[in-house]
Amino acid sequence: MSPKVSQAYKDEKRAIILEGALHCFIDKGFQATTIDDIVRHLGMSKGAIYSYFSSKEVMYIQMADDKMNAMVENSSEDFKNMPSAEDQIRYMFDRFRRQSLDELRKWLAFHLEFMLYAARQPELTERWNQYANKALLFMQEIMEGGMKTGEFRSDLDIAAASRLFWSVRDGLALQFMLSGEETDYKSMINEMEKKVFRYIQG
């Protein structure tokens, strides 16, 4: 009988595998990366990796989920000290400003590649939408809170406002994907922040 493995051990192993997969995705791109690449990078057996993840697609989705869940959890914890919805949204813009363009570009490159890949596979598209909806719901809750406190205009369409917020983020990231300076990127975030608040506050 094989020895029992603790949940903490399993969680650590999963984290190590995901970290190795992330390294390979950044280095080679999502589609070019194979399970064998991840095996070689980690020095693990293929069987050990498959005992945690059935495919590189599952690895990517878990990685994206973990990143989203960490963002929501960390932000929600910080929000306890900022009851104002306006402060919460400004905090989110500040998170964007603190992320360097180099870091953003590394993540975005294979992030976009996965989206194009998933667009041709309905089961992956459905799973992707579950991930994306977390971000929308997170922002909708902030927008709704701002309407209740009178910070935002009473006729605000919170679904549209939430999509606007993330579209600003994603649109700027795409525009600066291949070129552009850090100072210009952060300056544009500042300008977009002003425009978002003009829209939601009326």
Q: Which of 19, 111, 5 is nearest to 51 (CA)?
A: 5
Q: What is the mean pLDDT of residues 14-28?
A: 92
CA distances from 35 to 55, 85, 158 (A): 8, 44, 41
Q: How confident is the model at residue 3 (pLDDT cuts 50, 70, 90)?
A: low
Question: 3-class SS at 131?
Answer: helix
CA distance 45 to 191: 50
CA distances from 131 to 67, 79, 135 (A): 10, 22, 7
Share the mean pLDDT of the chain. Answer: 92
Q: Is the pLDDT reported for residue 9 higher than 90?
A: no
DSSP string, 100-118: -HHHHHHHHHHHHHHHHHH
Specify whether 116 is located in the same domain as 175: yes
CA distance 76 to 139: 11
pTM score of the predicted model: 0.85
Specify whether 157 is located in the same domain as 193: yes
Domain CATH code at residue 192: 1.10.357.10
Specify whether 83 is located in the same domain as 96: yes
Question: CA angle at residue 171 from 201 to 123, to 5 degrees?
Answer: 110
The tally of domains found in the chain comes to 2
Specify whether 118 is located in the same domain as 196: yes
Q: What is the mean pLDDT of residues 136-153?
A: 96
Domain CATH code at residue 34: 1.10.10.60
User: Are 51 and 39 spatial neighbours (Cβ–Cβ below 8 Å)?
Assistant: no
pLDDT digits (tens, 9 = 90+) for 149-193: 999 999 999 999 999 999 999 999 999 999 999 999 999 999 999
Q: Is the pLDDT reported for residue 1 higher than 60?
A: no
- Residue written as token pair 């020895």: 3
pLDDT digits (tens, 9 = 90+) for 89-134: 999 999 999 999 998 998 888 888 988 988 988 888 888 888 889 9
Specify whether 50 is located in the same domain as 62: no
Q: What are phi and psi of 3, to 5 degrees?
A: -65, 150
Tell me the residue range of the domain where 137 lies.
58-201
Q: How confident is the model at residue 4 (pLDDT cuts 50, 70, 90)?
A: low
Residue count of the chain, please give it: 202
